Amino acid sequence: MRTAVVVFPGVNCEHDVVQVIRSLGGEADLVWHRVTDLSDFDGVILPGGFAHGDALRTGAIARFSPVMGEIERLAGSGAPVLGICNGWQVLCESGLLPGAHIANRDLSFICDFVEVEVVDTGTILTRSAQPGQVLRVPLNSYEGNWVDPSGEGRVVMRYVDDPNGSQNRAAAVANGPGNVVGIMPHPERASDSLLGSTDGLVLMESFLHSLVAA
Amino acid sequence: MKVTVTIDRRPEIADPEGTTVKRALHDLGFTEAKAVRMDRVIHLDVDGEDADEVKARVEEMCRRLLANPVLEDFAVEVSR
């Protein structure tokens, strides 16, 4: 079971994600965004950062990277695809998840721990969590304010408070089948007591448990 | 040909930046500023002879990349 952690130019959380997966006994490799064959991988994580410098809009350039065709194929086959922070923005731009992200309601870059409540355990991000479970995970974003005029987004986790104006207080959203998920806070940064929280581990474990041999 | 693309956020989508600028204008006494929207303008220089064809191509650029259809509308103006 191998996870591809995709590296776009400007991404900066890729090593943290790989480290957490390996610490949980999983296999993960960094994959450059120009790669066009992910047939050796059973799942994908798009880590956080500033892909292509967020030029034009967050995720707008990354969605046309050569690797995206393979990510669309894996998503369509039911494989787990997780976008964290900027990775979620890329998944929205690509149309794999509904909606889009705009600047936080108060125009502040939020860098703080937030509490999020698990409201849907039927997804690759939350299957090992309990309904109603509250997790303390760090948020680190300026454009975390999710907007979904279609109303089709499946909210997976909600902020307990409302830090950024995100519609339905959504902190994580899935596609219909629940195999493609975007999350704004960083579970990989809540994976060791040294980091101030281990609440992200249940989410990363959920992802690993969702991997099925391709 | 010189082409100007204006990208507007749809009226029903929040514009936190516009709201903040409006508040600052009011603080300065410009209370007549009833609404502020922060739209984007993109200037392109495009190869082509036929203005209609150039416009159609740039509209396709907007649909594919320049505008986000979830949030934004666009207008294309070609100056001959």
> What interface predicted TM-score (ipTM) does this complex get?
0.83
Q: Which residues of A touch B17 (CB under 8 A)?
A: 103, 107
Q: What is the residue-wise DSSP string for B13-71?
A: S--HHHHHHHHHHHHTT-TT-------EEEEEE---S-HHHHHHHHHHHIIIIIS-TTT
Residue A214 has pLDDT above 70, yes or no: no
Sign of the alpha-carbon dihedral angle for A8, A11, A17, A18: positive
pLDDT given at position B30: 97
Residue in chain B lying closest to A99 (CA): B70
Give the tens place of pLDDT for each residue, B8-62.
999 999 999 999 999 999 999 999 999 999 999 999 999 999 999 999 999 999 9
Q: What is the residue-wise DSSP string for A2-32?
A: EEEEEE-TTB--HHHHHHHHHHTT-EEEEEE
Distance from CA of B37 to the nearest CA of A (A): 14
Report chain A residues touching chain B, CB-CB < 8 A: 56-57, 60, 64, 92-93, 98-100, 102-107, 145, 147-150, 165
Give the tens place of pLDDT for each residue, A158-199.
999 999 999 999 999 999 999 999 999 999 999 999 999 999
Are B16 and A106 in contact by the 8 Å Cβ rule? The answer is yes
Give the tens place of pLDDT for each residue, A42-52.
999 999 999 99
Type of residue at A99: G
Structure tokens given for B73 = 């509308």
Residue A213 has pLDDT above 80, yes or no: no
Band the pLDDT of A5: cuts 50, 70, 90: very high
Q: Which residues of A touch B70 (CB under 8 A)?
A: 92, 98-100, 147-150
pLDDT given at position A10: 96
Angle made by CA atoms B31, B34, B36, in degrees to the nearest 5: 110
Give the tens place of pLDDT for each residue, A95-146.
999 999 999 999 999 999 999 999 999 999 999 999 999 999 999 999 999 9
- Comparing CA positions, the residue from A52, A49, A50, A73 lying closest to residue A62 is A52
Instruction: Specify which residues A46 forms β-bridges with.
Output: A83
Q: How much is the average pLDDT of A55-66?
A: 94
CB-based contact (8 Å) between B24 and chain A? Answer: no
Cα distance between residue A11 and residue A51, in whole Å: 5
Size of interface A-B (CB pairs under 8 A): 42
Please tell me the pTM assigned to this model: 0.93
State residue A187 phi and psi, 5-degree precision: -65, -30
